[in-house]
Each structure stands twice: as structure tokens, then as C-alpha cells.
Structure 1
């Protein structure tokens, strides 16, 4: 900050001072009752001007240092702005410093969020690539070893692996849309029984291959949701049940209704979840003991299901006993509660 810039900044104060001293000098000089010589009036103005210049000098150098620091930060784009900002010299500077720090913190939070999103996306792609490579590799092995098998058996095995690839691709598509969710959903009344039957048809081969029995109870219930998204959410839950249920196991799908909500329950008598893993099953990328030890898993299915369910105004809870059962509950609040939630 140059002296010229400082004086221009103070121009209103200087004009006020000149007008005030001129007025006082004129009144005193022209007052017939008070006899003051012109020399004394000039002396008073000279002293006033000296004090004014002294004030400007004492005020200018701290201000110059303050604005020089600000100018250096602005030109060099220092990252650590919060600690680099000079100490405010007055109330106005304190307010501006607070505004700058507030904007900086807000932008930093946005950058952190973008970074986390990019990191999350990169981690998802890595895990997705590893997951999708497995059925491709298995398909190649099936083809290589197909010489001693029937054509139908080979085709069925390849189709099963293609279904796994299709499931991986669908998961990736829904993951890519999760941030633009508000642009692509329509909530209306849907029948749970129709949704479940559609998903059972889709997963029929998995049920048949593992000889898993299915029991459907009280499914003729209507809920307010988006059909496309809820199909994906329930499919992720059902796929998990199929994956972690042994051959000749059983999956029960039921609904319960109370004053506050309707609940879809998908229960299996599979391997269950260890108690220490229960609170983390919805975390991104968490595979738990089962996913690491015995099954190939990216840990993204339940994570996506939970996030999408919450965005729809629903919720997912889970209870399990290791080695006995797993029960996943999808909660649909009643219509009034749903609108209060949103």
C-alpha cells in the first residue's frame, strides 16, 4: 500500500478536516467579541495540521504492513491462508478477516468432499475391476474345459458368469448415478409382492443351482417408493443372502406393518455375520470376516443399498447370529412420516 493509495483512502476524512478547520477559523476570526490575530489562527491551523500528519504517519505504517501481507498472500496464493492472515488492526479488518476465513473454510470443505468423492470412486473402480475379472476368468476356464461336458451345461455355466458380470455393471451404473439421485427418481405407490417376484425371476438360476428354498409371507403390501431404485436396493440384499446361504438353505421374505412403518424382512439361514462386524456392514468397501475368508466380495452392495435407501426416505437395519441366520429389514415409513422426513 503506497502513501498515495493511503491518502486516497482517507480523502473523505481529509476533506472533512479541512472544512471543519476552515469553519472554526472563520467563526473565530469574524467574531467581533473575540479578538484573535490572524497569526494565532494560522498557528492553531499549523498545529492541527501537524497533529493530523502525525496521526496519518502512525496509522499508515501498520496499515501498510497489513495490506502488504494481504497483497503477498493474494499474489502468491498461499495455501495456509488461515494462519497467514495478519492480525486485524480495527473492527472493519476483523470483519473482513472473519469473512475470508469463513469462505476459505467453506471452500476447503468442498475441496475435501471432492477429494473424498474422487478417492471413493477410484477405490470402487479398483474393487469393481477385480470383481468383474473373476467371472471373465471363470468363463474362459469353462470354455477351455468344455470338451468333456454337454453343450447345455457349458452354456448354462457361461450364462451364470455373464449374469454376474451384468450384476457388476448394474452396480457400477447405480454407483455413478448416486450423486445425481435427485434428478432421476419418481416416488409412487408400488406393490412389494410384484417387486419381489420380479427379482426372484431374475435370480431364479441362483436359487436353482444352490437348491435354496424360498418362503414368501404377507407380501401383498403397497409402499411409496421409486420402483427402479428399490428394485436395485432389494436385489443387493437378496444377492447377499444368496451368496452367504449354503446349498439347500432357505430364504424367507416377509413384511410387517405397525403404526409408523411397513417393514420388508429378508431372512436367510446362512453363515451369519460376526457380532464385531454388524456395526460396519454398511461401510463402504467393508467385507467383514465372511467376505475376506470364504467369499469374493467388494463390500459395495450393502453400502450402495443403504445410501440409496436413505435418499429415498427409507432405512435398512440388520441383525444376525453367526453361523445361524441373517435378517435384513428395509423400513418404509408411513406416508405422513415420509413427508415429514423430507
Structure 2
């Protein structure tokens, strides 16, 4: 900072000093109770002016060091310059430094969140590509080894693989649209039993191929939700159950009304979930031991189901004993509770 710039910044203080000294001089001269002559007034003004100039120069020297350090930081363009900010000379500078540090911390947290999202998205895309390549490769093998086979068997096998591809594409679409959920949903009264039967019918071939029985019990119930998003949630849970249920297993689907709160449970007697993994199964990208070692899962199905259910005002919980069973429960709030919180 140049001396000229400094005095320009202090213009208001200099004007105040001149007005103040002019007022004092005028007052003293107007009420001459003591023997104060013109020379005394000139001496008083000169002396105070010298003191004022000394003060300004000392303040300039003190702030010059501070501004030099700031300018040096700007020229160095150090990424961590916020940690090298000079020691403040006054309370105002201290507040500015604290403000800069707070803004830096907020920006750092936002960048870290963006970086984590980018990393998770990359991991999802990588895993998704590997998953979708499997049914494509199988489809090619089916066509290459089609000689001597019935066309109906070939088409049936190809349809199975196309269904898998369709499921992966649908999952990626819902994943990409989950952030814009608020502009793409419509709450209606839905008969949950119909949605369940549509989801089961959609997975009929998997039930048949793995010889998995399905039991649908409970009373017919109506819930307030978005049909498209709720169907996707049920489908993800059911797909997960089928994936981890062995041949000859059973999946039980039950709808109950617990004191006005409706609950849909989907229970399988598959591999189950280890106790230490239960609290993490709804985390983005979490696959667990089963997903990593046996199925190479993306770990997005239950995460999307939980995220979308929460936005719809529903809740999803999970119970499991490793090696015995897994039960996923969708809880629909009472209507008065739903309208109170939404």
C-alpha cells in the first residue's frame, strides 16, 4: 500500500480532525476567559497536527507490514494461503480473517462433498458397466451356440438377459433422477396389493428358474404414495431378495395394519446379513461380503429404495440373521402424521 493510497483511505478521519480542531479553535477564541492569543492558538493547532501526523505515520507503518504480507500471499497463489494469513492489527481485521476462514471451510466441505459424490458416481458407473456387460456377453454366447436348439428356447433365454439389462438401465435412470425427485412425483391413493403382484409378475421367470415360492398374505390396503416411485422401491427390494435367496427358497410378502400405520414386509430365507453390516446396507455403494464375493453388486438398490422412500414420507427398516433370513419393512405413516411433516 502506497502512502498516497493510505491517506486516501483516511480521508474521512482527516476531515473529522480538521473540523474538530477548527471547532475547538473557534470556541477558544470566542470565549477568551484566559489570555489566549492568536499565537497560542497557532501553537496548539501546530502541536496537535504534528501529533496527528505522527499517529498516521505509525499506523501506516504498522498496517504496511500487514498489507505486504497479504499481497505476497496473493502473488504466491498458495492453495493453503488461508492458513498463512498475517496476524491482525485490530478487531476489524480479526473479523475479516475469521470470515475468510469460515468461507474457506464452507467451500472446502462443499468441494469434499462434490468429490465424494463424483467418486461414488464413478464407482457406480464402473460397477454398472461390469454388471450390464454380463447379460450382453451371455446373449452373444446364446446366439453363437444356438445351432440345433429350438428358437423358442433361444428367444426365452435372450428375453431373460434383456430383462436383466432393462433392470440395470432402469436402476441407473432412477439413480440419475433421484436428485430431481421433487419435480417428478404425484401422490395418489394406491392399492399396495396390486403393486406387489405386478412386481412379482415382473420377476416371474426368476421365481420359476430358481424354484422360489412366494407367499402373499395380509389384508388389502390403500396407501398414499407415488405409484411409479413406490413400484420401483418394491421392485428393488424384491430383486435383492431373489438375488440372495437360493434355489427352492421362499419369499413371504405381508401387508399389516398396525394401529393405523400400514407396513409392507418382504422376507426371504436367503443368505442373510451379518450383524455388523445391517446398519450399513442402505449406504450408497455398500455391497457387503455377499455383494462383493458372490454377486459383484453395485450396492445401489437398497440405497435408492431408502432415499426415495424417505422423500415419499415412508420409512424402510431391515431385520436379518446371517444364514437364516432377511426381512425388509416399508412403513407408511398415518395420514395425520404424513400431512403434518410434509
TM class by shorter chain equals over 0.9
Task: Indicate the residue corresponding to 1:167 in structure 2.
Answer: 167
The question of whether the paired residues in 1 share the 8 Å contact of 2:316 and 2:331 is answered with yes
Q: Secondary structure at the match of 1:256?
A: strand
- What SS does the aligned partner of 1:147 have? coil
Shift of 1:76: 5.3
* Local SS of the residue matching 1:254: strand
The SS at the match of 1:319 is: strand
Q: Is the Cα contact below 8 Å between 2:255 and 2:264 reproduced in 1?
A: yes
Task: For residue 167 of structure 1, report the CA deviation from its aligned partner.
Answer: 0.4
Secondary structure of the residue that 2:295 maps to in structure 1?
coil
Partner of 1:341: 341
2:217 is the counterpart of 1:212: no
Q: For the Cα contact (< 8 Å) 1:28–1:34, is it kept in 2?
A: no
**Partner Cα distance (1:68, 1:341) in 2:** 55
Q: CA deviation at 1:119?
A: 1.3
For the residue of structure 2 that corresponds to 1:280, the secondary structure is coil
The alignment partner of 2:166 has SS state of: helix
Displacement of 1:17: 1.1
Q: CA deviation at 1:80?
A: 1.9
Instruction: Tell me how far 1:81 sits from its aligned partner.
Output: 4.1
Q: CA deviation at 1:245?
A: 1.3
The size of the alignment, in residue pairs, is 342
Contact 2:318/2:329, CA 8 A, preserved across alignment: yes
Structure 2 residue runs of 5 or longer lacking an equivalent are none
SS at match of 1:185: coil
Unaligned runs of 5+ in 1: none
Write out per-residue CA displacement over residues 156-210 of structure 1, whole angstroms, 9 at most, x where no aligned residue.
1111011000000001101111111112112222110111111122111111222
- Work out the CA distance in 1 between the residues paired with 2:211 and 2:310: 33
**How far is the alpha carbon of 1:306 from its aligned partner?**
1.4
Within a 5 Å distance, the mapping from 1:1-342 to structure 2 comes to 1-74=1-74, 77-259=77-259, 261-342=261-342
Q: Which is worse superposed, 32-41 or 302-311?
A: 32-41
Once the 2 structures are TM-superposed, how far is the Cα of residue 13 of structure 1 from its aligned partner? 1.4
Deviation at 1:30, TM superposition (A): 4.1
Relative to structure 1, the CA distance from residue 331 to residue 48 in structure 2 (aligned partners, 3 Å threshold; closer, same or farther) is same
Q: Deviations over 1:234-283 (max 9, x none)?
A: 10100011111122221111012223632110011222222232222222
Check conservation: 1:192, 1:219, Cα contact below 8 A.
Answer: no
Q: Distance in 2 between matches of 1:161 and 1:260?
A: 42
Task: Please report how far the alpha carbon of residue 74 of structure 1 lies from its aligned counterpart in structure 2 after TM superposition.
Answer: 4.8
Q: 2 CA distance for matches of 1:79 and 1:221?
A: 59
Scaled by the length of structure 1, what TM-score is found?
0.93
**8 A Cα contact 1:189 1:225, kept in partner:** yes
Aligned 8 A contact 2:314 2:333 in 1? yes
Structure 1 163/43 Cα, relative in aligned 2: closer, same or farther at 3 Å?
Answer: same
Task: Give CA deviations for 1:80-125 in whole Å, capped at 9, x if unaligned.
Answer: 2431322322222222223322322222222222222211111110
- Alpha carbon RMSD of aligned pairs, Å? 1.9
Deviates more, 1:162-171 or 1:31-40: 31-40
TM-score (norm 2): 0.93
Distance 1:81 1:179 in 2: 34
Classify the secondary structure of the residue corresponding to 1:133: helix
